[in-house]
Chain A
């Protein structure tokens, strides 16, 4: 496929445009993110008033943590969703079989749509809550301009890791016919271990150590730490490298699962 990059770029653009047409839903979702941001930021403020510098975050960092995580919630699909809903519908209707003999790569196609979706979500559902948070609370924006660029890179990696996880969940549909149950379990794990509810630094002992190495930490904790400039200079290679390793591992695992699944479909169909 000589023009493959162009093809995937077109798919991503299409997904971006598709999500940009759900205007009212985006507006309503942004509003919800903002409401939750205000509630959770207030609770964090109270906790850090009782315990200044808890987990190595000062008060404004703790509040900013909430706003950045709200900005990332839908962008990196901590809850699941995005391309998963489409794939699930195609499992139900049987169209999934058609997807597999298209002259495009199954994994690549859905990754492209998910990147397009994430770009749109970051643009709207990412920036608006962050702006409101900065207006209403005393937040800490990056001091060095380069941090913004590194943050965007970290969000990109977070989306790829999230895609890798969700792709594995969706592909269980080839065996289970319905990945709804696995999805609901993943939602729990993901919300907790991504640091969405509480920074991982506040987890007790072994639970915290475990959470630091699991892939979910790449979704929220890693980009948020980059944004808060908890790591600078070469120290940034830590979180970024962590994200990159998980992204590669999960994409390869997804690829292997896909190979197994395709073989299974061929057996059934032949």
Chain B
């Protein structure tokens, strides 16, 4: 297995080492994605060696992650609205937030292992390998068993879209895939940006959980049930509201509790781009500030 890997890696490796940062951004991004792909493929082959174990853990993760939705359904056995929103509407919020978090977690979630790597010194090994450290970290222990979360989210989304009482105009239809993609990007950027904090504070991993998992839990519920300060915080602070709340207001035809301009409801791509830029800059600053112990 070593031979095909060195074969495919060798050529871009030399190019990359020769001109590390003079290459245009596009070429560097392509190289980073390709490195991620190679690393992820390697990890996937290793986990797929145990097929039964893979099937079991995927099944277990499907059930585990469905539990949050079961709780929502149980809540709606006692009421037909929560904060003025119905179950299909909550299901839409639940599905979009969970899908975005799930895909981001699948693709880049492993990056939160950064702190542990700094502590035991293995980050240095990654830095001297001829592939971007960020790609390697994100692909670390890549496993399709993490698909459990997004798969059950998709099932809930299908049910929700079929049950929702919405006039499907073209802009609403287009907003659905747009918000799914932007949501994944925003959560992905939060994973990377949050992990960057670990360059300075090794134990920040759990704080990051409160933004990623806590954030997704927040987005399961309609914005109307939360304090306005909290809602404003996830619009202008950590821009979680752009994952699903703001576009969903337009799709579901709900009034904005903050009374923001309608432009915000279409601004998810902009917010996603901004998140990626901030996370990218933070990562470079963190990598520059990093000093290995050298031993």
Contact = CB atoms under 8 A, between A and B. Distances in A.
B203 A42 contact: no
B67 A191 contact: yes
Given A25-B206, A29-B206, A36-B217, A46 B67 contact: no
B204 A28 contact: yes
Interface in A173-202: 181, 184-185, 187-188, 191-192, 197-198, 202
A28 B203 contact: yes
B67 A36 contact: no
A256 interface: no
A184 to B, nearest CB: 5
Interface stretch (B169-177, B221-229, B249-257, B264-272): B221-229
A35 B64 contact: no
Nearest to A185: B60
Contacts of B214: 32, 35-36, 39
B122 interface: no
Contacts of B206: 25, 28-29, 31-32
B102 to A, nearest CB: 17
B125 interface: no
B83 interface: yes
Contacts, number: 89
Interface string A20-56: 0010110111011001101110110111001100100
B178 interface: no
A45 B230 contact: no
A203 interface: yes
B83 A46 contact: yes
A198 B77 CA distance: 12
Contacts of B68: 197
A24 B203 contact: yes
A123 to B, nearest CB: 18
A204 interface: yes
B71 interface: yes
Given A28-B205, A28-B207, A188-B64, A42 B225 contact: yes
Contacts of A38: 230
Nearest to B222: A46
B225 A46 contact: yes
Contacts of B202: 24
Interface of B: 53, 56-57, 60-61, 63-64, 67-68, 70-71, 74-75, 77-79, 81-83, 201-207, 209-210, 214, 217-218, 221, 224-227, 230
The 9 closest A-B pairs by CB, nearest first: A28-B206, A24-B203, A46-B225, A32-B210, A35-B210, A50-B79, A35-B214, A46-B83, A28-B207
12 contacts: A25-B203, A39-B217, A42-B230, A43-B75, A46-B83, A47-B78, A50-B78, A51-B79, A184-B57, A191-B67, A202-B74, A202-B78
